[in-house]
Structure 1
């Protein structure tokens, strides 16, 4: 029994007339009879009462008719959804991204892509770097915008932005007047940072360890703008990629960090062993054609 058999059965069940159903389906009565036989053999019971005026659904047939309507509707819906995914112009791109690019890199990319792919749709998922990797592995996302770079054995990578890191300090802080600052100068300061599990939390912790100290956390937030605001309010200091903080009026002062390691790389990633949909592939190709931004 095939899906088409259920589709034909639904028409026959609604008309309860072999000749009329065959005409509606554009097939012969023998073909329709053979299709009905396959459905009845699959369920193991007769589905119609044969009367001299035609056919009448029996209780088993009414159950199968309900299932046939639901089943064929589900198949039709799946075909439409697959067709949408296969359309590179108007298909859906499932994109996971870091909280820290939500007000900067992400809207810039989407706006630029709209100019060349105005019909494309995006299913967006926001989260930490570990969550983005999980979304890619599960298939809930096609492409991720994240940092740091995930396992190169399993994930492709294309750099998008090199962000200069700075030490954000409250207004009036002794370090606020420096042109550049070594991170070790803030070793005794309370820090405001991201919660564990965020990719940038790992980066900032590694920078502090390289400077010879473990930061004393006054608060752990879930996004960079909140950290910047709390620094501006005097709660502590923070290491931040200043280009990720747009339009901030917190009052926090960004002092560039000295040292060759004081940059954060944001990139586009995808699972190597997964086949991208045409829409996602088109978006990936567009992003890869853009120059790497250095801030």
Structure 2
């Protein structure tokens, strides 16, 4: 028995006549009879009383009719909702993105995309990079805006932005007036950083390790705006991407880090060997048409 058998059963229950029901369904009477037998076999009881001029539901049949109507209505509703979600003009894009691009890259990108696709909707997930990767694997997200680049064997990648990394220092700090600073010069400073598990936490730790020290963390936050605010309040210094905190009035000063490796690459990732929905494919094409930027 399948959902179409239940749909045919409901039509037969309405017409109470095999020939009329078959005509309404555009099928033959033998096909309808076989469908009815599948339904009755599935429930283990006879659902109609056969009469001289047709058929009539018995008490078991009335119970099954109620369930059949509810079930087919639910399936039809799901089909309509899926059709709406995959419509490239008004569908849904499941997008995961980093906390660190939530006030800069992502708002600008979505604003630009809505100018060309105003009816496309987004299911947004703001989370650490390892969670975005898991969401791409599970299908909870179709596209991720992430750093660093995930496994190239499993994920496609498009570079979107190269971010210069800076040492964020309190106002009046001795480094605040410098044009550039070596990260090693901040080895004795208290640091404000992200909690473990965030992709940028790993990047900043690797930079400090390359500079020859392990940062002494005064506080671990979950977003860059909090880090910027705490640095501005004088609680420590931090490594942050340039322009990652937009519209801040903390007073913290961004001093570019010296060294050609002091960059973070942010890009769009998607799972390979998985077909995107039309709306997500349209968004991916749009993003790939835009040149990578540098900050």
Q: Same fold (TM over 0.5)?
A: yes
Matching residue of 2:152:
152
Q: Give the secondary structure class of the aligned counterpart of 2:94.
A: strand
Distance 2:195 2:33 in 1: 66
CA offset at residue 41 of structure 1?
A: 2.7
- Per-residue Cα deviation, 1:25-61 (whole angstroms, up to 9, x for no partner): 4666555444323321333320123345754433332
Matching residue of 2:94:
94
Matching residue of 2:218:
218
CA offset at residue 123 of structure 1?
A: 1.0
Matching residue of 2:236:
236
Alignment gaps of 5+ in structure 1: none
Distance 1:272 1:102 in 2: 25
Matching residue of 1:164:
164
Q: Give the secondary structure class of the aligned counterpart of 2:75.
A: helix
Distance 2:79 2:220 in 1: 46
Q: Give the secondary structure class of the aligned counterpart of 1:246.
A: coil
> Do residues 256 (structure 1) and 256 (structure 2) align?
yes
Moved more, 226-235 or 53-62: 53-62
Q: Give the secondary structure class of the aligned counterpart of 2:140.
A: coil
Distance 1:218 1:55 in 2: 80
CA offset at residue 86 of structure 1?
A: 3.5
- Give me the TM-score of the superposition, normalised by structure 1: 0.93
Distance 1:131 1:78 in 2: 28
Distance 1:207 1:27 in 2: 71
Distance 2:201 2:4 in 1: 55
- Per-residue Cα deviation, 1:207-253 (whole angstroms, up to 9, x for no partner): 00011110011111111011000111111100001211100001111
Matching residue of 1:284:
284
Matching residue of 1:201:
201
CA offset at residue 113 of structure 1?
A: 0.8
Matching residue of 1:267:
267
Distance 2:230 2:254 in 1: 13
Matching residue of 2:178:
178
Distance 1:293 1:194 in 2: 25
> Do residues 13 (structure 1) and 6 (structure 2) align?
no
RMSD: 1.9
CA offset at residue 2 of structure 1?
A: 3.5
Moved more, 282-291 or 77-86: 77-86
- Per-residue Cα deviation, 1:49-106 (whole angstroms, up to 9, x for no partner): 3345754433332332233123212321232233234422222111100011111111
- Per-residue Cα deviation, 1:110-132 (whole angstroms, up to 9, x for no partner): 11111211121111111000000
Moved more, 284-293 or 28-37: 28-37
Matching residue of 1:73:
73
Distance 2:66 2:221 in 1: 52
CA offset at residue 174 of structure 1?
A: 1.5
Distance 2:61 2:136 in 1: 44
- Per-residue Cα deviation, 1:254-291 (whole angstroms, up to 9, x for no partner): 11111111111100000112111121111111100101
Distance 1:80 1:240 in 2: 45
- Give me the TM-score of the superposition, normalised by structure 2: 0.93
Q: Give the secondary structure class of the aligned counterpart of 1:174.
A: coil
Aligned residues between the structures? 295
Matching residue of 2:40:
40
